[in-house]
Amino acid sequence: MIRRKPSESTKRIIVENYGSVVRNLSAYVFLIILLASLLALGMLYLLRLLGYFPSRAEAPLIYMIIFIITSAIIGTIIAYIVSKRILTPLAELKAAINEVEKGNFDVRVDGEGTPDVFKELIENFNKMTAELGGIEMFRSDFINSFSHEFKTPIVSIEGFARRLKKDDLPEEKRREYIDIIISESKRLTGLATNILMLNKLENQQYISDRVSFSVDEQLRSCILLLEKEWTRKGIEFDIDLEELELFTNQELLSQAWLNIIGNSIKFSGEGSTITVKGYKRDNRIRISIADEGEGMDEETIKHIFERFYQGDSAHASEGNGLGLPLVKRIIELCGGTIRVESQKGKGTVFTVFFKV
């Protein structure tokens, strides 16, 4: 296991709960002192009722001594009882933290019967370990998948580079091998770029640089940016967009549209049509992008937003399986949700919803 630094959200949980624990413990101490003082005063009153009346000169000193001794004894007894109840869950929490430090993220603290002062802290600790466990699992899967995805183009580049060293290689083959090397190099670049962006967004809880902009105009701009790709295949666009205003990160959302539209172009047949529709109803924006491509089976749809998943052979010819997970994360950060519907031989529809 690799020891990990706590995330910003984990640090925030610790800071918030630390303040809560300090406030509650201060309240406990205050109540103990107050209760001990009241009981000590009660003892003094009881002595007066029993007829103990010291001389006028001795009274202040005797009352003070009795009050201090009684307060100390009563306070110690109460503090012992309360601290025993409080320190038990703290000891369990300390032991659990030591396990987490060793890399054991399966550890949990039982909060049953715990004082209210620590219930929230223990609940958040258990949430934190569950989160770290998920991160650790993702890290292992990520490394395995990434190693495989990264190794494939590197092996390909090495193989074709070795062939280029042959002196008797025809010029036509030489050009073909160079094109393959360039293509695989671009694939590696795209893989690294998507991994860095996805890793950044996965650890991001909110986005900055929010502005109000026209989503319909943004979609039209993204389609124009990809004109070279769709004109090469003779694809037509059927666009039906109402005027749609959204307040979020414009640049980030543009990346999502480029991925979705690019994906539709990639898997659309020659001379087919991609339909882009958008409208606002009941404070909700709905945008759909539908193609007439090969479509996907149910198993592929279930995993389409998973990292490095490329589906069936029809969807594994290009890409690196990071585009759609990146889209999903961007849409979520922008305050929306994404849904995919598809049938084999009938195309695919991506639908994005935003509350406004």
* pLDDT tens-place string over residues 236-290: 999 999 999 999 988 889 888 988 998 899 889 899 999 999 999 988 999 999 9
**Domain boundary pick from 135, 166, 193:** 135
Within-domain flag for 2: no
CATH of the domain at 166: 1.10.287.130
135, 169, 188 - which closes a domain: 135
List Cβ neighbours of 153 (8 Å cut-off, separation of 6 or more): 184, 185, 187, 188, 191
Rounded CA separation 321/157 (Å): 20
Tens of pLDDT, residue by residue over 63-103, are 666 667 776 776 677 666 666 666 667 777 778 878 877 77
Residue 44 pLDDT grade (very low, low, confident, very high; cuts 50, 70, 90):
low
Tell me whether residue 1 is in a domain: no
244 closest CA partner among 207, 272, 217: 217
Q: Are residues 154 and 261 in the same domain?
A: no
The 10 Å CB-count burial string (b at 16+, else e) for 99-115 is ebeeeebebebebeebe
pLDDT at residue 212 in the model = 93
Question: Residue 298 pLDDT > 90, yes or no?
Answer: no
What is the structure's pLDDT at 305? 78
Residues 232, 333 within the same domain: yes
Which pLDDT score is estimated for 9?
47
Check whether residue 165 and residue 46 sit in a common domain. Answer: no
193 shares a domain with 218: no
Instruction: Check whether residue 170 and residue 189 sit in a common domain.
Output: yes
Residue 131 has a pLDDT of 72
Could you give the strand order of the β-sheet that contains 347-355, starting from the edge strand earlier in sequence? 236-241, 273-281, 284-290, 347-355, 336-343
User: Do 182 and 119 share a structural domain?
Assistant: no
The CATH number given to whatever domain includes residue 346 is: 3.30.565.10
Q: What is the pTM of this model?
A: 0.52
Residue 35 CA to residue 318 CA, distance in Å, equals 74
Give the end of a domain, one of 202, 235, 250.
Answer: 202
From CA 104, how far away is CA 96, in angstroms rounded? 9
pLDDT of residue 320: 47
Q: Determine, yes or no, domain membership for 270.
A: yes
- Average pLDDT along the chain: 76
Q: What is the pLDDT of residues 304-324, one digit of tens each?
A: 877 655 554 444 444 445 678
Same structural domain, 117 and 163: no
Least confident stretch, 111-115, 224-228, 339-343? 111-115
Distance CA(352)–CA(356), nearest Å, equals: 13
What's the helix, strand, coil split of the chain in %, to 5? 60, 15, 25
190 falls within a domain: yes
Give pLDDT, residue 94: 77
Please tell me whether residues 290 and 346 are part of one structural domain. Answer: yes
Residue 3 is assigned to a structural domain of this protein: no
The answer on 273 and 165 residing in a single domain is no
Looking at the 3D structure of the chain, how many domains does it have? Answer: 3
Length of the chain: 356
What is the pLDDT, as a whole number, of residue 10? Answer: 47
Res. 147 pLDDT band, cuts 50 70 90: low
- Examine residue 64 and state whether it is found in any structural domain, yes or no: yes
Domain encompassing residue 165? 145-202
pLDDT confidence of 197, banded at 50, 70, 90? low
pLDDT band of residue 166 (cuts 50, 70, 90) is confident
> What percent of the chain shows pLDDT beyond 70?
63
Residue 140 domain-assigned? no
Q: Are residues 47 and 128 in the same domain?
A: yes
pLDDT of residue 314: 41
Q: CA-CA distance, 29 to 25, in Å (whole number)?
A: 6
More confident residue, 154 or 61: 154
pLDDT score recorded for residue 316: 41
Model confidence at 110: pLDDT above 70 = yes
Question: Does 186 lie in the same domain as 106?
Answer: no
- Domain-located, residue 291: yes
Segment 131-138 shows an average pLDDT of 68
Assess whether 291 and 340 both reside in one domain.
yes
